[in-house]
Amino acid sequence: MENLIEVKNLKKYFPTPHGMLHAVDDVNFIIEKGKTLGVVGESGCGKSTLGRTLIHLHESTSGQIFFNGKDITFVKGKALREAREQMQIIFQDPYSSIDPRKTIEATIREPLIVSRKFGKSEIDEKTSELMNLVGIDERLRVSYPHELDGGRRQRVGIARALALDPQFIVCDEPVSALDVSIQAQVLNLLKKLQIDRALTYMFVTHNLSVVRYISDDICVMYLGQVVEKCSTKELFVSPLHPYTKALLSAIPSVDIHHPMKRELLKGEITSPINPKPGCRFVARCPYAREACLQPQKQEEVVKNHFVACCRVHEI
Ligand SMILES: Nc1ncnc2c1ncn2[C@@H]1O[C@H](COP(=O)(O)OP(=O)(O)OP(=O)(O)O)[C@@H](O)[C@H]1O
Ligand SMILES: [Mg+2]
């Protein structure tokens, strides 16, 4: 398998009046071509910042991002424009990414025009193709975003992201704002597009059922760091990090033989501003010990199953 994305020691810090906010702090992972990496974790743990940094909507603070084996971390000019074309994003709320004053057709064709790669008739043709691809009726060409329901609006967001035929798409909570009945349709569309167009996804969500359905592998983030990383199957069968365990035990279970266990998280959330060097989960962790105040190394506990917890073998 070829790697499309490789991230090494990636950091994204934001300066704030109170110090440096460590939004993404030393993150490492690989995404193979055609696969989906799910990224889960609580609000504010850095999922969106990670996605945005990957596709160069934020400049990295340090570390490396490889795309198709090429280090693109700090590329500028033409190389940056090319990288940005190859890496797109779909947002939770298409309202924030699409202009309410533009028609559907104008929204989808905008990236085609901006790229200056296509003539007028080609742009018309591609716009129709994209609308078909995502299942939007051509009669909606001259409608406005507010005239569409959430599911169709998200389809417009997807069409726009696909316009320049990218290889990689960050899906940032793409179904969280949709009715449950529509969520499955959009997820299935994303899955179909992935196969048809050999797309690679990073899929950000805090919905564990969604991430389980869509991802091949999962990274669990806690305050800017990846605390656990493995295949989706493995994560749900044998979660190892105390935070992952707590996260998974909070899913309401419908299986009467395994009634819901809630290991509710207690304790204060550590601040992401100037964090201490030890485990960031320490204040809420039921297994915390002295050793947890030291920096936690990521260890491959089982093949391809990485955990950043010094107590992983004892608990
Ligand atoms: N542009 C910015 N400037 C300063 N701080 C930021 C900026 N963007 C994000 N942050 C901070 O970085 C941290 C991570 O935020 P981020 O939006 O990436 O989290 P998230 O996991 O996507 O959360 P959510 O699930 O709520 O979308 C938060 O503490 C947030 O306040
Ligand atoms: Mg987010």
Cβ atoms of 101 and 141 within 8 Å: the answer is no
Q: What is the pTM of this model?
A: 0.94
Atom of ligand 1 nearest to the CA of 45: 21
pLDDT tens digit string along 233-256? 999 999 999 999 999 986 654 444
Residue ranges and CATH numbers for the domains of the chain are 3-236 (3.40.50.300)
Q: Per-residue pLDDT tens, the chain, 315 aa: give them.
A: 799 999 999 999 999 999 999 999 999 999 999 999 999 999 999 999 999 999 999 999 999 999 999 999 999 999 999 999 999 999 987 777 789 999 999 999 999 999 999 999 999 999 999 999 999 999 999 999 999 999 999 999 999 999 999 999 999 999 999 998 899 999 999 999 999 999 999 999 989 999 999 999 999 999 999 999 999 999 999 999 999 999 998 665 444 444 444 455 667 778 999 999 999 999 999 999 999 999 999 999 999 999 999 999 998
CA 90–ligand 2 middle distance (angstroms):
12
The 10 Å CB-count burial string (b at 16+, else e) for 142-179 is ebbbeebebbbbbbbbbbbbbbbebbbbbbbbbbebbe
Nearest of 147, 214, 230 to residue 174 by alpha carbon: 214
Atom of ligand 1 nearest to the CA of 41: 21
Q: Is 58 in the pocket of ligand 1 (CB under 6 A)?
A: no
Q: How far is CA 38 from CA 111, 123, 131, 236, 251, in A?
A: 27, 33, 27, 13, 17
**Token pair belonging to 193:** 């597009």
Query: Who surrounds ion ligand 2 at CB < 5 A?
Result: 48
Adjacent-strand bridge partners of 22: 13
Q: Is 23 in the pocket of ligand 1 (CB under 6 A)?
A: yes
d(CA 55, CA 82): 11
Nearest of 205, 224, 278, 223 to residue 24 by alpha carbon: 224
Q: Is 136 in the pocket of ligand 1 (CB under 6 A)?
A: no
